[in-house]
Structure 1
Amino acid sequence: MIRKFEENDLTDIMKLWLDTNISAHDFIPGDYWKNNFEMVKEILPQAEVYVFEEETDGQIVGFVGLTDNYIAGIFVRNDYQAKGIGSKLLDYIKEIKPSLKLSVYEKNISAIEFYKKADFIIESENIDEDNNEKEFTMSWIK
Structure 2
Amino acid sequence: MSKVEHLIIAENEFNKIIAFMGTENNRLEMLFICSAERGKGIGKQLLKYGIEIFGIKEVTANEQNPQAVGFYKHMEFVTYKRIKEPIMMKRENRILFYI
Counterpart CA distance in 1 for 2:96 and 2:73 is 12
Give the AA of the match of 1:89.
Answer: L
TM-score (norm 2): 0.89
Alignment RMSD: 1.4
1:128 matched residue in structure 2: 85
Q: Would you identify which runs of 4 or more consecutive aligned residues in structure 1 move more than 3 Å? A: none
Which structure 2 residues correspond to residues 97-136 of structure 1 after superposition, within 5 A?
Answer: 97-130=54-87, 131-136=90-95
Secondary structure of 2:60's counterpart equals strand
Taking a change above 3 Å as real, the CA distance of residues 126 and 96 of structure 1, as seen in their structure-2 partners, is same
State the shift of 1:50 in Å: 0.5
Quick check: which has more Rg, 1 or 2? 1
Q: Which consecutive unaligned segments of at least 5 residues does structure 2 have?
A: none
1:90 matched residue in structure 2: 47
TM-score (norm 1): 0.64
State the shift of 1:99 in Å: 4.4
Q: Which consecutive unaligned segments of at least 5 residues does structure 1 have?
A: 1-39
State the shift of 1:102 in Å: 1.2
Give the AA of the match of 1:85.
Answer: I
Relative to its length, the structure with more strand (as a share) is 2
State the shift of 1:68 in Å: 1.3
Taking a change above 3 Å as real, the CA distance of residues 103 and 119 of structure 1, as seen in their structure-2 partners, is same
Same amino acid, percent of matched pairs:
24
Taking a change above 3 Å as real, the CA distance of residues 80 and 137 of structure 1, as seen in their structure-2 partners, is same
Give the AA of the match of 2:11.
Answer: E
| Residue-by-residue CA offset, 1:39-68 (whole Å, 9 max, x unaligned) | x1xx43x531111111x2111100101111
1:76 matched residue in structure 2: 33
Number of residue-to-residue matches in the alignment: 97
Relative to its length, the structure with more helix (as a share) is 1
Which structure 2 residues correspond to residues 13-24 of structure 1 after superposition, within 5 A?
Answer: none
